[in-house]
Amino acid sequence: MKEIFEKINIKRIVQYWLFMFLSLVAQNMLFTQLRPLGVCPLVLPAVAVAVGMFEGAIWGAVFSLIMGIFADMAFIENTIAFTVLFPALSFATGFVAQFFINRRFFAYMGAALVGLLITGVMQMLKTAAMDEWAMSMVSTVLLQTLWSLPFAALAYFPAAEWIE
């Protein structure tokens, strides 16, 4: 428990708060305007994956829990979906990065791809529970994931820069 509190650094907390704030603002104000084929990019799962990869499972999950709460407040169709999903993605990525994969760009992009697909499938399943057009949503999930990947690359660099 002692090593958890030794890792707390005010400068790093401010950096990650700014990272979260800019990610949420970009997601809600900028990326919603970019809609080729009717699909806007979703960068927040990639941010959760980046923080989990570089800060570890516990701190990544804490960051992603807070970001998920704010994301659920911004997306009116969600109730607690992002609050539950983002910490789980971040924790899983932190765990896998600690034991199995390196923290390089291509490993991050693979983890971000998986995180974006999981988020898209969870959004699809929530909608499919209320609608019978679930199979037509698979193409939307794939388009959203592919369209989000270039923007997910941008989330790698701030998180990678702050690691000690």
pLDDT at 134: 59
Report the share of the chain in percent with pLDDT over 70. 84
- Mean of all residue pLDDT scores within the chain: 76
Model confidence, pTM: 0.78
Q: Decide if pLDDT at 113 tops 80.
A: yes
pLDDT band at 123 (very low <50, low <70, confident <90, very high): confident
User: What is the secondary structure of 44-109 as a DSSP string?
Assistant: HHHHHHHHHHHH-HHHHHHHHHHHHHHHHHH-TT-SSHHHHHHHHHHHHHHHHHHHTS--SHHHHH
pLDDT at 128: 61
Q: Decide if pLDDT at 129 tops 60.
A: no
What is the set of domains in the chain, with CATH numbers? 2-162 (1.10.1760.20)
Nearest to 94 by CA among 83, 85, 103, 106: 103
Give how far Cα 62 sits from Cα of 30, 39, 59, 83, 152, Å: 25, 29, 5, 10, 20
Stronger pLDDT, 46 or 6, i.e. the higher one: 46
pLDDT band at 157 (very low <50, low <70, confident <90, very high): confident
Calpha distance 11→6 (Å, rounded):
13
CB 141 within 8 A of CB 114: no
Q: Decide if pLDDT at 163 tops 60.
A: no
